[in-house]
Amino acid sequence: MGPRLRSARERRGATLTDVSRMTGISLSTLSRIETGRRKPTLEVLLRLAKAYGASLDDLAGTAPVAAPVAAAGPRTPVPQRPGDDKVVLPLTRYVGGLHAHKHVLPAVDGPPARPRQVSHDGYEWLCVLYGRLWLALGEQDLVLSAGEVAEFDTRTAHGVANAGPGGPVEYLIMFGPQGERLRPRIRAS
């Protein structure tokens, strides 16, 4: 993400000092973010997006790519954004209880390797917003598309990856560190 932020700043013709004055973010923090020695928080990204006149998705490199328009001639390939790391945007600020995050996995060039799995105490809910997400859950391999959800005990080994070429994947996670679970009050029949 650092090189993309540097590029956005340079396109505006701004120095790190200029951005520091505009945003109130320290010069050293901006420098560490641009060189990849520090990951920006959502608050910092929001300030930078405003200063650069860009969206969060543009800064993170996760803006959905428009599908090519069908034409009489050959189709133009959809540009990809390979090589970036996953972006995690916290949606809750407090410690303890349920946590919510938005995750964005970058586009990939080809078929990914099976996701590395981890296990830990807790319970997780996952909702795909855009793209196709590979969820390796124990011995199961599931591919979830936009609008699909999964919930599982995180003591079961689990891992995720972009399911393949076609663009980035955006998904929401709600995690209960002590095994807290969502409690629906109304169930549609």
Q: What is the DSSP string of 81-141?
A: -TTPPPEEEE---SSSS-EEEEEEEPP-SSPPPPPP-B--SSEEEEEEEESEEEEEETTEE
Beta strands, E only, 2-83: none
For the whole prediction, is pTM greater than 0.75? no
**Considering only CA atoms, which of 100, 19, 103, 24 is closest in space to residue 54?**
19
User: Which band of pLDDT confidence, cut at 50, 70 and 90, is reported for residue 70?
Assistant: very low
Lowest mean pLDDT segment, chosen from 21-25, 39-43, 182-186? 182-186
Q: Render pLDDT for 31-60 as a digit per residue (tens, 0 to 9).
A: 998 888 888 887 888 888 888 887 777 777
Average pLDDT over residues 57-68: 59
Q: What is the pLDDT of residue 171?
A: 94
Q: What is the pLDDT of residue 180?
A: 62
Q: What is the pLDDT of residue 51?
A: 86
**Considering only CA atoms, which of 1, 5, 30 is closest in space to residue 89?**
1
User: 51 is written with which tokens?
Assistant: 């200063």
Q: pLDDT exceeding 70 applies to what percent of the chain?
A: 78
Q: Tally the residues of the chain.
A: 189
Question: For residue 145, what are the β-bridge partners?
Answer: 132
